[in-house]
Amino acid sequence: MLVESLSVAALAVVLVCAVVRPFRWPEAAFAVPAAGAVILAGAIPLDDVREEAARLGPVIGFLAGVLVLAKLCADDGLFRACGNWMARRAAGRPRTLLGAVFALASLITATLSLDATVVLLTPVVFATAARMGARPAPHVYASAHLSNTASLLLPVSNLTNLLAFTATGLSFTRFALLMTLPWLVAIAVEYVVFRRFFATDLDAPAEGTEPTEPPRMPRFALVTVAATLAGFAVASAVGIEPAWSAAAGAAVLAVRALLRRRTTPVALLRSAQLPFLAFVLALGIVVRAVVDNGLGDALGHVLPDGTALPALLGTAAVAALLANLINNLPAVLALVPLAAPAGPGAVLAVLIGVNIGPNLTYAGSLATLLWRRIAHQHEHDVSLVRFTRLGLLTTPAALVLSTLALWVSLRLLPG
């Protein structure tokens, strides 16, 4: 009983501190000691610790590569060019700007992961809306929602996907094919609701300035990103971890930036966000301790079995609820081993739940918490009531319809 209580307490401390960030310390400052505590207390054997570290190692390596790749793309002007493209495309029309934000945020989330959308695109959206004289709320909230919703498409779009990818038993390409329809449906639901929910803001006149020069897209960065994505598919087909493709793409841009003296080795190391990587590993160990000491058995009783439509809907709902209770990273770590025996469809339903579900509350994903901090840095008041109302209108509908789309995909693309 003692180890069970200690494990739950350790997870609670990690999650609360990740949300509140006392003294502005990084999440790892609390997660690493918590992991050490459950290990020393015997809540998780050392063999299981080594097993968890081996399982999460490739995931952490991939995350480091993508974070460096995204930062180097930003340094090369990719996101500034995106802002210019959005402004020119909108031509002073806020509703058109919303469509451009949806398109770019969905594409960036899918290819460079949700962290790129939150950390790198959101400030560009603020700047673009300000330059146009448009009200920022619809476009900024779109960045938050799409960093979660639009991360369904690829195994590399979200850390949750990468954690579950091996358990699906799918290739990179087949994963993408099965999730394309759910991805499109979820984004469409968000777009329809956003246009109605923010109608007053979108109808307000924009009286800012428009860019006169066409955006200059950094071709080398775009080609490198495209080659990296192709590398993910090829690597998956031959059994190579995606981390190697991410590292190769990051290395190409890093060498070029170093030769041109646009960055330094210290800056590259900083862009890998080592404290966050340590947090992911420590969180995995703490969650493993909680799962092995009672949570796994409890979830096993409530998680539906099979891939019939009612089972998929139930699985997605349980995953969404758990994500909002304990955050989506612990939720996917806890649920994937339980869903995997039912087949890849069940694991993909878990991903729909843990990726769309966090749009309901601030605490649902770390990306949303980070987005809120960025919004505050830009002196934008994020209303809890408004965020929750928007989440209640988008999340259940997107969850149900995208799960239905997954069920259709599984039947149209068997095997």
Residue 241's pLDDT is 84
Mean pLDDT (whole number) for 205-224? 76
Q: How confident is the model at residue 133 (pLDDT cuts 50, 70, 90)?
A: confident
d(CA 341, CA 309): 17
Check whether 184 has a pLDDT greater than 90. yes
The pLDDT value recorded for residue 357 is 95
pLDDT of residue 346: 96
For 281-305, what is the mean pLDDT? Answer: 88
| pLDDT of 48 above 80 | yes
Q: Is the pLDDT of residue 206 over 80?
A: no
Type of residue at 283: L
Please enumerate in sequence order all residues whose Cβ is within 8 A of that of 195, keeping only pairs 6 or more positions apart, or say none. Answer: 95, 98, 202
- Token pair belonging to 201: 């803001």
**pLDDT band at residue 257, thresholds of 50, 70 and 90?**
very high
Output the pLDDT for position 36: 94
Q: Which residue has the tokens 């929910």?
A: 197
Residue 210 — very low, low, confident or very high, per pLDDT cuts 50/70/90?
low
Q: What is the DSSP string of 207-270?
A: -S----SPP---HHHHHHHHHHHHHHHHHHHTT--HHHHHHHHHHHHHHHHHHTTS--HHHHHH
Residue with the bigger pLDDT between 391 and 25: it is: 391
- Structure-token pair, residue 334: 């806890």
Task: Mean pLDDT check: name the lowest of 5-14, 190-199, 375-384.
Answer: 375-384
* pLDDT value of residue 366: 76
What confidence tier does 355 reach under pLDDT thresholds 50, 70, 90?
very high
Best CA proximity match to 114, nearest among 143, 89, 142, 78: 143
Percent of the chain at pLDDT exceeding 90: 50
Its pTM stands at 0.87
pLDDT value of residue 259: 94
CA distance linking residue 138 with residue 128, whole number of Å: 13
23 DSSP 8-state letter = G
Residue 405's contacts (CB-CB under 8 Å, 6 or more residues apart) are 181, 182, 184, 185
- Is the pLDDT at 237 greater than 90, yes or no? no
Quote the pLDDT of residue 217.
Answer: 81
- Contact call for residues 154 and 113 (beta carbons, < 8 A): no
Which carries the bigger pLDDT value, residue 297 or residue 168? 168
Residue pair 145/394 in contact by the 8 Å Cβ criterion: yes
Give residue limits of the domains in the chain: 1-43+275-288, 77-217+303-412
Looking at residue 359, what is its pLDDT? 93
